[in-house]
Amino acid sequence: MVLFGENIVANAESLIKNLKSRAGINVAQAVLRTAKLPTARSWTELEAIIVQAVNKDPAVYDALIAALRIQLVCDMKATCYFSIEPEKKLAVKDALTSLNIEQTNFSKAFPLSVPVQELQNDDGVLKAIHTFSDEFGAGVIFSRKRVFSISEEYSHEKFTDSMLEQFPNHDKIIAIKNYYHQTFDVVYLNYEHSVLELRADITRSDSLLQTVKQQEKSCSDLRNTIQLFLLGILKAKVLGAPKNLFPLIKKIYTDPSGAIKKLGFSTLTGSIKTETMKGGVDLRQEPFHLNGAKAINHEMTLYEVAIIWHRIDIDNVNSKPELYVPGTHMNSVSLEPRCDFAILKGIRSNCDTNFVLKKMASFEK
């Protein structure tokens, strides 16, 4: 892609906006370092560096666009895993790679988001906007408008004069505000493991944190869309139930190659606890957890876990993929506890997702 004249600054600003909301500062910093350019720790400083760098060398813009595209494919996804029968794998691959992408505003803008006005006019139906393949598999990206609601509570002492006049006998008012958000959901077939990954987008913004129900709806909508698509092409049902990830929680907790970042568990004494660690430090080595686990002879019922792998220490790849299997205590004590999706973070490529799949396969042995 080559940029000219006034388009340079405008495109750079749009790219920066998407990087901030879709990829994060670490991704932009890594691209600049690779290009042997100066970097910064804040977006304010980084924005000026990117605009100047793109103005001098459009190849920097292309590198940042490529990095953004990878993040939209792999990172911050609620992922369901479906085993594909070996005899159907080739047909599924052909169906994904040969999918015709219509020329729409969504597909033309990718990997950038469409302008707000265009997003407001979207019908909210998942639509294929991009196909891709790499050494580990092939996939399709679907996009649409999602509406998220945020509630704001106003207590009586914060009422304005007009509010006091209109609501004289009210103690508080709850205001609901709707936000439009463009999602990028991914269907990806991993060749080596014969697994179809359905990666539902997760918002990064702290003001738009998705609930479990919203994540489940994203997964369900994507599953229904791809199920109908494959049924229409292959004339046969391809997807069964997603892999139940709940049985993996205990084995993930005992994996010595990773660092446990979060753990939810209950004890025989009736305690229900959630513990978290920052900075990639292993929770299992933290004195409070270590001593507490010893005190109860490690008799814990685990119901959620997050693990981060420092691949530089495992297979010399400079990335830190994180796998989070969410859950609740109520689920853990049900007759058939299930967790149908995991949340993937810190993913830098499909090499990372393949690494995670290998780990999951080892846990199932």
pLDDT tens-digit readout, 30-82: 999 999 999 998 999 999 999 999 888 889 999 999 999 999 999 999 999 99
Nearest alpha carbon to residue 27 among 320, 341, 343, 330: 320
Q: Which residue has the tokens 């092409």?
A: 233
Q: Which residue has the tokens 């980084």?
A: 46
Distance, CA of 244 to CA of 247 (rounded, Å): 7
Distance, CA of 111 to CA of 207 (rounded, Å): 23
Q: Would the pLDDT of 146 be above 60?
A: yes
pTM of the model: 0.89
What does each C-alpha distance from 121 to 117, 133, 200 come to in angstroms?
A: 7, 31, 22
Which value, in Å, is the radius of gyration of the alpha carbons in the chain? 23
Q: Which two tokens stand for residue 43?
A: 């977006």
Distance, CA of 188 to CA of 322 (rounded, Å): 18
The mean pLDDT value of the chain amounts to: 90
Distance, CA of 312 to CA of 134 (rounded, Å): 22
Average pLDDT over residues 319-333: 92
The whole-number pLDDT of residue 9 equals: 64
The alpha helices in the chain, defined as continuous H runs, are 7-22, 25-34, 43-56, 58-74, 86-97, 105-109, 116-120, 161-166, 212-234, 249-253, 287-295, 329-332, 350-363
The whole-number pLDDT of residue 4 equals: 43
Q: Would the pLDDT of 173 be above 50?
A: yes
Phi/psi at 294 (nearest 5 deg)? -65, -40
What does each C-alpha distance from 352 to 89, 194, 317 come to in angstroms?
A: 21, 16, 9
Residue 271: CB atoms within 10 A of its CB come to: 11
Distance, CA of 66 to CA of 31 (rounded, Å): 10
Distance, CA of 275 to CA of 284 (rounded, Å): 10
The whole-number pLDDT of residue 5 equals: 47
The whole-number pLDDT of residue 294 equals: 72
Q: Would the pLDDT of 253 be above 70?
A: yes
The whole-number pLDDT of residue 1 equals: 47
Q: Which two tokens stand for residue 82?
A: 């479906």
Read off the pLDDT of residues 83-107 as tens digits, 9 standing for 90 and up: 999 999 999 999 999 999 999 999 9
**Cα four-point dihedral sign 86, 88, 92, 95:** positive
Under DSSP, the state recorded for 326 is -
Phi/psi at 186 (nearest 5 deg)? -130, 135
The whole-number pLDDT of residue 242 equals: 96
Distance, CA of 184 to CA of 73 (rounded, Å): 8
The whole-number pLDDT of residue 7 equals: 62
- Could you report how far apart the first and last alpha carbons of the chain are, in Å? 46
What does each C-alpha distance from 75 to 70, 71, 149, 280, 283 come to in angstroms?
A: 8, 5, 23, 18, 23
Nearest alpha carbon to residue 123 among 143, 99, 101, 150: 143
Q: Would the pLDDT of 2 be above 50?
A: no
What is the band of 281 on the pLDDT scale with cuts at 50, 70, 90?
confident
19-28, 70-79, 187-196: range with lowest mean pLDDT: 19-28
Q: Would the pLDDT of 285 be above 90?
A: no
Q: Which residue has the tokens 């025989």?
A: 268
Average pLDDT over residues 300-310: 93
The whole-number pLDDT of residue 207 equals: 56
113-117, 174-178, 346-350: range with lowest mean pLDDT: 174-178
